[in-house]
Amino acid sequence: MILSDVTLKKMIDEGSLIVEPLVENSIQPASIDCRLDSNFLVVEDRNMHTIDLNSEILYREIEDEFITIPPNSFLLATTIERVKLPDDLTAFVEGRSSIGRMGLFIQNAGWVDPGFEGQITLELYNANSLPIRLQAGRRICQLVFCKMDQKAAVPYSGKYQGQRKTTGSRVFSDAESGGSA
């Protein structure tokens, strides 16, 4: 079941769902808008020949109010908002329609697990033939919350729990790669 603005406001007021800092008009009829932070990561492709699942990826961090994404390019960004989901709630990260119509694809693997706490790292891809210039503080995506049939037996406690700022891939730490996660 997708949660309505009434339910979202109630959960935020009672503290069972945390989305902060929340600004006026963030809560939409069936979602909460999130804003773009000023912290970005770009793959450091000059120092890497390939990306594979077993090696740490090198990133260059950019801290700026504005960022321009060249055509057919990818970068990581984050939301200003920090979220904390209860153990019986999950969220889908969706790009705003107005942003998608510019040719900017927004993803975060599309999913926020129950029990997750932290800022949400976003994967941004410019599918347009022109550069796209973004500004920190602007609404970039929305969270659509879904109530689960019961609390998760094992809420999220993985490698991205508590993340602050934009966080690069940690796939190299997966158990399949010999890591612990």
Residues that are catalytic: 123
Please list the pLDDT of the chain residue by residue as tens digits (181 residues): 999 999 999 999 999 999 999 998 999 999 999 999 999 999 998 888 888 899 899 999 999 999 999 999 999 999 999 999 999 999 999 999 999 999 999 987 678 999 999 999 999 999 999 999 999 999 999 999 999 999 999 999 999 999 999 999 998 888 776 666 6
Nearest residue to 105 (alpha-carbon basis) of 93, 91, 92, 113: 93
Residue 21 token pair: 């800092």
Contact yes or no for 96/37 (Cβ under 8 A): no
Q: What integer pLDDT is reported at residue 80 of this predicted model?
A: 98
Q: What integer pLDDT is reported at residue 177 of this predicted model?
A: 65
Number of other CB atoms surrounding residue 67 within 10 Å: 20
Place of tokens 């730490």: 173
Q: Which residue ranges form the domains of the chain, and what is each CATH number?
A: 5-49+57-150 (2.70.40.10)
Cα distances (angstroms) measured from residue 37 to each of 61, 128, 178:
13, 22, 33
Residue 32 token pair: 């909460």
Q: How far apart are CA 119 and CA 33, in angstroms?
A: 13
Looking at residue 91, what DSSP letter applies? E
Q: What integer pLDDT is reported at residue 45 of this predicted model?
A: 85
Looking at residue 17, what DSSP letter applies? S
